[in-house]
Amino acid sequence: KAGVTQTPRYLIKTRGQQVTLSCSPISGHRSVSWYQQTPGQGLQFLFEYFSETQRNKGNFPGRFSGRQFSNSRSEMNVSTLELGDSALYLCASNLQLNTGELFFGEGSRLTVL
């Protein structure tokens, strides 16, 4: 069974640009969550989607957005990139809601110059 797949794995952008990250969950998983990981702040929740609907959103500015498609694949977008957006963006899927038992992808490492 394939795991959670995130693309791209690495990318470099400059300030002011925008970026779109993609996540394919494990087959059959309908819930997808996104987390930002930085050395200073650790793992911080961005948003969660289930059946194409955003269930929860973390404390991030409106420049961070996401969506989920009917096949459960998800994308997140960051507009007007800032240096502080440099981070590892992790996507996770789970089979059952409300258990906390997440399956993470390897992440997309974004560097903003």
Partner 1 sequence: GQQLNQSPQSMFIQEGEDVSMNCTSSSIFNTWLWYKQDPGEGPVLLIALYKAGELTSNGRLTAQFGITRKDSFLNISASIPSDVGIYFCAAPDKYSTLTFGKGTMLLVSP
Q: How many residues line the site for partner 1 (CB under 8 A)?
A: 24
Which are the contacts of 112, defined by CB distance < 8 A and separation ≥ 6? 12, 13, 14, 15, 81, 82, 83, 84, 85, 86
Nearest alpha-carbon partner for 72 in 33, 37, 19? 33
DSSP letter string, 40-56: TTEEEEEEEEETTEEEE
100 token code pair: 């906390």
Measured at the CA of 58, the angle between CA 21 and CA 26, to 5 degrees, comes to 45
Binding mask 41-70 for partner 1 (x = CB under 8 A): -xx-x--x------xx-xx-----------
Q: Minimum distance between the CB of residue 100 and partner 1, rounded to whole angstroms?
A: 5
Q: Interface with partner 1 includes 22 (CB under 8 A)? A: no
Binding segment for partner 1 (CB under 8 A), chosen from 11-19, 61-69, 74-82, 101-109, is 101-109
Q: Minimum distance between the CB of residue 110 and partner 1, rounded to whole angstroms?
A: 15
Of 14 and 51, the one with the shorter C-beta distance to partner 1 is: 51
Binding site for partner 1 (CB under 8 A): 4, 33, 35, 42-43, 45, 48, 55-56, 58-59, 90, 92, 97-107
